[in-house]
Amino acid sequence: MLHKNFILILDFGSQFTQLIARRIREMNVYCEIHPFNIPFEKIKELQPKGIILSGGPSSVYSEFAPIPDGRIFELGIPVLGICYGVQLLGNFFNGKVGVADKKEFGKAELEITSDSVIFDGLEKCETVWMSHGDYLEKMPEGFSPIAKTENAPIAAIENTDKNIFGIQFHPEVVHTPKGKVVLKNFVVGVCKAEQNWTSHNFVEAEIKEVRKKVGNKKVICGLSGGVDSSVVAVLLHKAIGDQLTCIFVDHGLMRKDEMKQVRETFTKHFSMNVIYVDASETFLKKLKGVTDPERKRKIIGNTFIEVFDETAKSLGEVDFLAQGTLYPDVIESVSFKGPSATIKSHHNVGGLPEKMKMSLIEPLRELFKDEAREVGHELGLPDEVIHRHPFPGPGLGIRILGDITEAKVKVLQEADAIYIEELKKTGQYEKIWQAGSVLLPVQSVGVMGDERTYENVLALRAVTSLDGMTADWAHIPYEILGKISNRIINEVRGINRVVYDVSSKPPATIEWE
């Protein structure tokens, strides 16, 4: 979708870049993240309302410092530099960046020394979050200082003639209480961006876009029952009706009773064309003896495509394949050649094998997870689908560490069903962003009915998050964890020990593989 009203965020490697995007989307303004070295001609073509330079770990003087095309400052487009971004402004406009005597990491008191449009609505002194070792030592030409902190005498600058601003602190983090106000002052006040990025407008625009792209051709959609694929399926069905055929491939690695639930929702409730394929034997056979997580992902992804290809042939000529790719998938799977690196492959990103003569349709690739849920509400999806926790495409295949067998899958399905059931029963499910069970390749000694046992260890994982880019472990009450553990050990044969994962992302990832 081509946007004529959006903010461009250039990424210089900050761990908070995605948070900048989230804050702007929360204002109902569309924005996109691009690498710092995006070609200048591409920026001109995009015609953003404003440009934000993210923070980053580099020094502007280092040999491999990420430096954008300086012509962006001559476009007449408002620019806001954050942290490393303000140092770039200083370097570009003949100021001087120095190494601070005392590095600032954490909370600081910002003293606003001059009236500025980006500080409208703020008090003279505000708490902000700093994370820097370098700072502006000499004012860049054409700029005026507008704020300072104890360790940064020039903590914010502005050039009113060019509408260019720089702030040394991070407005996007929750530790800067008035940070959203600062960003809104720039995005809405300075850039005059319209606040029209809503789920209703998105659905209307995307339906038109799909109809224009598809015409009278056929589309197939991989339906898993998760939020992303469900929203895609219903959106496409609303746009093109019976031109859409959904294919539900049971790879044998789904949660318990998954196929039954999908049938209930989509075949009965929405009257959609859904083909159900039980390919569990095929997947398990190809995964036999495989322990490497990346190999598992690739085998599952490739086999999924093969099953799709075979099923699609029965439908005659099909021109498009729809996927539930989300914006974090796109961000995390793109290497920005320096600031950002690929963490792991995503099953939804990377295109299609050449033998599949279909084009991709990814109507949600601009959305974060919570935005996809809002679109689901707009389309009338039931709450149990919309608020379902994210579930990985490779399914339980990456929650069984080590080799995968049918017996292990059944054990994990039963244990996971108990876990989710208890979370829902106690009201914890709604408080958690994602929960799942992990079967470990570890056996431990236990005692059951006066007999010694030597069985598997199960790890429970639950995190709180906004969009999965960062996550903290969920603080589930001990008594609830105790009941879950007790039920699993007593009801699921093959597990005699349950542990709880208290790792955050970063440094850990949400999934174990």
Active site residues: 83, 170, 172
3-state secondary structure of 462: strand
- Positive/negative CA dihedral, 508, 438, 347, 467: negative
Structure-token match 């990832």, residue found? 509
Burial class from Cβ neighbours inside 10 Å (0-12, 13-18, 19+) for residue 286 reads middle
475 in helix, strand or coil? coil
In the three-class reduction of DSSP (H, G, I as helix; E, B as strand; rest coil), residue 148 is classed as strand
The rounded distance, in Å, linking the Cα atoms of 379 and 382 is: 9
Query: Token pair of 513, please?
Result: 């593989």
CA–CA distance, 386 with 231 (Å, rounded to integer): 8
* 40 neighbors 84 (Cβ within 8 angstroms): no
Q: Of 386, 356, 358, 351, give the one whose Cα is nearest residue 235.
A: 386
Burial 310-339 (b: 16+ CB within 10 A, else e): ebbeeeeebbbbbbbbbbbbbbbbbebebb
Question: Got the DSSP string for 251-300?
Answer: -S-SPTTHHHHHIIIIIIIS---EEEEE-HHHHHHHHTT---HHHHHHHH
CB 219 within 8 A of CB 318: yes
CA distance 314 to 481: 47
Tell me the H-state helices in 126-249. Answer: 179-184, 199-214, 227-240
In terms of DSSP bridges, do strands 164-167 and 156-159 run parallel, antiparallel, or are they unpaired? antiparallel
Strand partners, 81: 53, 166
Spatial separation of the C-alpha atoms in residues 419 and 272, rounded to whole Å: 31
